Amino acid sequence: MFQPNFQITAKAAQSLMDIEVSRQAVSSLPVTAQLLTSLRESARLTSTHYSTQIEGNRLTEAEVAVVAKGGTFPNRKRDEAEVKNYFLALDYLDQLLADSSLQLTTASVMTIHGCVLHGKEKPTPYRDGQNAIYESGSRNLIYMPPEWRDVPQLMEELLSWVNEQLTMGELPAPVIAGIAHYQFATIHPYYDGNGRTARLLTNLILHLSGYGLKGIYSLEEHYARNLQGYYQAISVGESHNYYESRRSEADISQWVEYFCQGMADSFASVRVQAEKLKSRPDQSMLLRELDPRQKRILAAFRESRFLSTKEIAEHLGVSPSTALNLGNSWSDSGFLQKSGQGKSRRYELTPQWVELL
């Protein structure tokens, strides 16, 4: 059974208090449709840019924004695919979070990885052989993860531990998320895509435990701006071999401290935004009526009064027939109103939603 060895240091305790202060401040953040959409999209772009950059992606944050809208760059197909895959994984997380009774499962973790590495919402099996982490340049061995035969059991123990801790509520949620991040990286269950999957899993756990902060923060930027500190913090033990230094008896107190500090810094940044926007009216209750697809379409209406079925399909990445069905359903529910027929059909927001823009 997985049982992490750690102590909450004085610095970690201070960070946890800082996180709570920022969390409470942001919880009362007045939300308009334009504000929430803008902040969430900005956070998604930032998270995607920095999480893929850590793995060597060459696109700038501005270029990531272009790719998110369907743009492309010469000789950047692999980088573009990584960015699109990460956005797909973020969309998948939104789907998971729609289930209020959600618990982490092997299938959900495997599907997150499937989105990240293959661009498909399809579970990918854990590795079937040994992998290793080498230092770039010198190619010196840095870390030898556990044998592949042990991976399924280790992952099952980790997910069981996380679900149990989230249910019990005895440990602070940031500590649970940080430990999950560390242990996933330690198990290294895949040949590639472990870092991105670990960071997405971390964010999922934070959202499940009430630390989603409206989806407008990015921990990835904290890691990327000091990669050396990130790698040093997550490297525990004197030996490069998992079985000799990184089993559950390894003391990961410093990693917990590092993770909590990163969360505190990220949340504080969002809190500054919250303080600047106190005078905005709170429309969060109305926005809770919308599903993730409707929120994305709401953002599209900021740039155009009307959207065609084809444009809805392009914004959501769905087929024209699916877009047509969504348009009809949203018209029936009072979210959109339509005019025209066939290829000339267009949609616009109903008055109550126009007011939010």
In this structure, are 337 and 267 located in the same domain? Answer: no
- Does 284 reside within a domain? no
Task: State the Rg of the chain over Cα.
Answer: 21
- Does 36 reside within a domain? yes
How many whole angstroms separate alpha carbon 208 and alpha carbon 220? Answer: 18
User: Do residues 113 and 91 touch, judged by C-beta distance below 8 A?
Assistant: no
Instruction: Select from 98, 62, 32 the least CA-distant residue to 299.
Output: 32
- CATH number for 227: 1.10.3290.10
- pTM to 2 decimals? 0.77
Position 287 scores a pLDDT of 72
- What mean pLDDT do residues 230-248 have? 78
Task: Calculate what percentage of the chain has a pLDDT beyond 70.
Answer: 91
Q: What is the distance in angstroms between the CA of the first residue and the CA of the last residue of the chain? A: 51
In this structure, are 39 and 65 located in the same domain? Answer: yes
In this structure, are 102 and 15 located in the same domain? Answer: yes
In this structure, are 337 and 243 located in the same domain? Answer: no
- Does 200 reside within a domain? yes
Contacts of 356 (CB under 8 A, 6+ apart): 32, 33, 34, 283, 286, 287, 298
Q: How many domains does the chain have?
A: 2
In this structure, are 91 and 16 located in the same domain? Answer: yes
Instruction: Select from 227, 247, 48 the least CA-distant residue to 145.
Output: 247
Residue 86 pLDDT level (bands cut at 50, 70, 90): very high
User: Do residues 83 and 48 touch, judged by C-beta distance below 8 A?
Assistant: yes
In this structure, are 131 and 168 located in the same domain? Answer: yes
Task: Count H helices and E strands in the chain, helices first.
Answer: 17, 5
Of 276, 301, 323, which residue constitutes the final position of a domain?
276
In this structure, are 37 and 102 located in the same domain? Answer: yes
Please provide residue 143's backbone torsions phi and psi, each rounded to the nearest 5 degrees.
Answer: -155, 135
Position 30 scores a pLDDT of 66
Write the CA distances from 230 to 13, 188, 224, 260, 261, integer angstroms. Answer: 19, 16, 8, 12, 12
- Does 222 reside within a domain? yes
- What mean pLDDT do residues 65-85 have? 91
Position 89 scores a pLDDT of 96
CA angle 214, 295, 60 (to 5 degrees): 70
- Does 78 reside within a domain? yes
Bridge partners, residue 143, by sequence? 133
Position 96 scores a pLDDT of 93
Is the dihedral angle over the CA atoms 82, 84, 86, 92 positive or is it negative? negative
- What mean pLDDT do residues 27-52 have? 79
In this structure, are 232 and 308 located in the same domain? Answer: no
Q: If you ran DSSP here, which 8-state letter would residue 176 be given?
A: H
In this structure, are 240 and 212 located in the same domain? Answer: yes
Which residue in the block uniquely carries the two structure tokens 């997985």?
2
Q: What is the mean pLDDT of the chain?
A: 87
Position 233 scores a pLDDT of 84
User: Is the per-residue pLDDT at 34 higher than 80?
Assistant: no
Of 250, 276, 302, which residue constitutes the final position of a domain?
276
Tens digits of residue pLDDT in 313-332:
888 888 889 988 998 899 98
Residue 227 pLDDT level (bands cut at 50, 70, 90): confident
Please provide residue 181's backbone torsions phi and psi, each rounded to the nearest 5 degrees.
Answer: -60, -50
- What mean pLDDT do residues 249-276 have? 87
Contacts of 40 (CB under 8 A, 6+ apart): 214, 215, 216, 295
- CATH number for 332: 1.10.10.10
How many whole angstroms separate alpha carbon 295 and alpha carbon 94? Answer: 11
In this structure, are 271 and 318 located in the same domain? Answer: no
- Does 337 reside within a domain? yes
Instruction: Select from 308, 293, 291, 296 the least CA-distant residue to 348.
Output: 308
- Does 281 reside within a domain? no
What is the extent of the structural domain holding 321? 289-354
User: Is the per-residue pLDDT at 145 higher than 70?
Assistant: yes
Residue 136 pLDDT level (bands cut at 50, 70, 90): confident
Tens digits of residue pLDDT in 277-289:
555 555 666 677 7
CA dihedral 166, 205, 145, 115 (to 10 degrees): 140
- What mean pLDDT do residues 210-230 have? 86
Write the CA distances from 211 to 24, 94, 115, 253, 266, integer angstroms. Answer: 10, 14, 23, 21, 12
Position 343 scores a pLDDT of 67
* 31-35, 112-116, 198-202, 245-249: range with lowest mean pLDDT: 31-35
In this structure, are 323 and 200 located in the same domain? Answer: no
Task: Calculate what percentage of the chain has a pLDDT beyond 90.
Answer: 48
In this structure, are 258 and 345 located in the same domain? Answer: no
Phi-psi group of 250: left, alpha or beta (phi > 0 → left; psi -120 to 50 → alpha; rest → beta): beta
User: Is the per-residue pLDDT at 31 higher than 70?
Assistant: no
Of 244, 276, 308, which residue constitutes the final position of a domain?
276
- Does 181 reside within a domain? yes
**3-class DSSP string for 200-262:** HHHHHHHHHCCCCHHHCCCCHHHHHHCHHHHHHHHCCCCCCEHHHHCCCCCECHHHHHHHHHH
